[in-house]
Amino acid sequence: MGILMNSTKNTLIISISLIISFAIVSIIGSNAVLEHKSMERSVTVKGLSEREYLADTVIWPIQFTAASNDLSEIYETMEASNKKVIAFLREKGIETDEISSSAPSITDKSAQRYGSSQPAEFRYTATQAITVYSSNVEQVRSVMGDLAELGKEGIVLSSDDYQAQPEYLFTRLNEVKPEMIEEATKKAREVAEKFATDSNSQLGKIKQARQGQFSISARDRHNPHLKNVRVVSTIEYYLSD
């Protein structure tokens, strides 16, 4: 009988001990979960860096045309126009190695299978382009304003053609990247600090960061030589009480 009572007493003690142990483990585990959740509080913000730069390269195609019923004559006209355009550019200070010339493109309207039933005034039309590729953007732009001088010499320019429009490039992106990324990151942190202050929190370390793509675009359609460079950084910060 005494042995049975001792056994029951021991079992009861062990059971109580296990219950207390489980309770302690649960409390510790609960605190750990709460602490973990507290560490997981975060805020995601964006920082923008946007700057304007002058394009550093210009590609300027000067396209001119001629028409004739005589094939030899139209080639002679295009050759003469080619020399005049190059002489004009050299006179305006454009370097020889900045000028390239394409071969004339000749269209024989009588050889076209489809077209108007009315005969064309001229059988042959020719188009040719001389291209200026230069890093002296402002100088080339000033020469563009003098292009009417070629018209006075009898050269028919195709300035309205899409392929005759100048193209402006900004090639120094790698030079400005570090400074712009730093600015975007700084602005993102300023936003995060403001959020932390407003929510009575402390701003912690960076949890993760995503660097957006740089974009380069013309400031507007009237000023394609002015380039707008833009980047957005997305950063997530830890928050704590």
- The pLDDT tens digits for 144-159 are 999 999 999 999 998 7
Q: How far apart are CA 149 and CA 91, in angstroms?
A: 12
- The pLDDT tens digits for 170-210 are 999 999 999 999 999 999 999 999 999 998 999 999 999 99
27 falls in which pLDDT band (50, 70, 90)?
A: very low
- The pLDDT tens digits for 216-238 are 999 999 999 999 999 999 999 99
Hey, what are 184's tokens? 């975007």
Ordered by where they begin, the domains of the chain are 40-56+170-241 (3.30.110.170), 58-167 (3.30.70.2970)
- The pLDDT tens digits for 56-93 are 999 999 999 999 999 999 999 999 999 999 999 999 99
Q: How far apart are CA 64 and CA 156, in angstroms?
A: 5
Question: Please, are residues 158 and 17 in contact by the beta-carbon 8 Å criterion?
Answer: no
Question: Please, are residues 236 and 197 in contact by the beta-carbon 8 Å criterion?
Answer: no
